[in-house]
Amino acid sequence: MLLSWLRKFRPSSHSAKCILIPAANYTSNQRLAEVGKFESPKLSGKYETGQLFLHRVFGYRGVVLFPWLARVYDRDVPNKKETKPIEESLNYNQVGKEVKGRAHTYYQVLIDSRDCPYIRAQTEAVTFLGNQDNGRTLYAVPGLDYIAHEDVMPYIAGDKRPIRHDLFDKFLAHTPEKDPPFGARETLKAWQERNHPWLELSDVHKETTENIRVTVIPFYMGCRESQNANVYWWRYCIRLENLGDLTVQLRERHWRIFSLSGTLETVRGRGVVGQEPVLSRQQPAFQYSSHVSLQAPSGHMWGTFRMEREDGFTFDCRIPPFSLESKQEDTSQPTSVI
């Protein structure tokens, strides 16, 4: 897997920042090809549109499209008086008012299509509602992801088209006088502005149980009319990371979904998205997305994952509670550039 070779990187004799990957799309010959040289990560500020990177956790190659400023509600971080909230009016999360939101930079990125088969994350996880007539119709943008600032491992490549993705040339232009040497085309700017309501990342929720870190990012998708009633849709992206040494497997999920209409739904099932992923030292992370709908403009979700450790110990890993909040409706439909 891509993550395995990434975690085994060692500086080569001719360059301490040389990036080597298996050539020929990771065939069995294990021949390596150089794709670029690492840059020093930014400890402050943000990366610009066109920045090439390797993902710190999943190891894929990608390029930054544009940043988002998110509110991160981390239940592992104790509140401190000297920590300033993002805004006084947005001081606390709707669920669990003891947790303060702190500003953090995330990025909308494109994933290199050559790496998609080798990462433990859904590469078609960014979805949109379809036409107004059928609230169950969804379509996806392949190879689009959201990543945190600390997940960016920046690098420089000599290739004018270092990332293979159908949208790379539509969104980015090679500008050798710039740093990074790729700039946003008008197509990208227009697409971002048009699809802002469907793409916007605003809240991130984190919590750790028995060395299993769960990160949840909810997205509002819009409202559709179904059988003379409004149905509100959200998608949510979940990443699980094993921060310990013992291998752990996800066995079951248990969700509680509360709607502002007063209903409380319980959902139980085996695994997630048809899988029971194993989190080991070699492959410590797994990421997936799903959807939920309510007949009310807001609600809450929380729950647990039943985990089984390699020593036979089982425990419930908490999923941090998060709000499902609707936004002012935009009557325009999401647009594609393809």
Which regions of the chain are under pLDDT 70?
A: 1-17, 20-31, 79-98, 130-137, 328-338
Report the alpha-carbon distance of residue 312 to residue 321 in Å, rounded: 27
How far is the CA of 263 from the CAs of 178, 256, 266, in angstroms? Answer: 54, 10, 10
How many Å apart are CA 146 and CA 49, to the nearest integer?
Answer: 14
Cis peptide before 180 (omega within 30 of 0): yes
- Write out pLDDT tens, residues 107-141: 999 999 999 999 999 888 888 886 555 545 677 88
d(CA 321, CA 73): 10
- Rounded CA-CA distance 177/203 in Å is 36
Q: Give how far the C-alpha of residue 119 lies from the chain's centroid of Cα atoms, to the nearest Å.
A: 13
What pLDDT is recorded for position 139?
79
Q: How many CB atoms lie within 10 A of CB 296?
A: 16
Q: Identify the structural domains of the chain with CATH numbers, from first to last.
A: 33-78+100-201 (no CATH), 209-330 (2.60.40.1470)
Check residue 22 and give its pLDDT: 62
Would you call 169 helix, strand, or coil by DSSP? helix
Contacts of 315 (CB under 8 A, 6+ apart): 209, 210, 306, 307, 309
- Quote the pLDDT of residue 23: 55
Look at residue 131 in the predicted model and tell me its pLDDT: 57
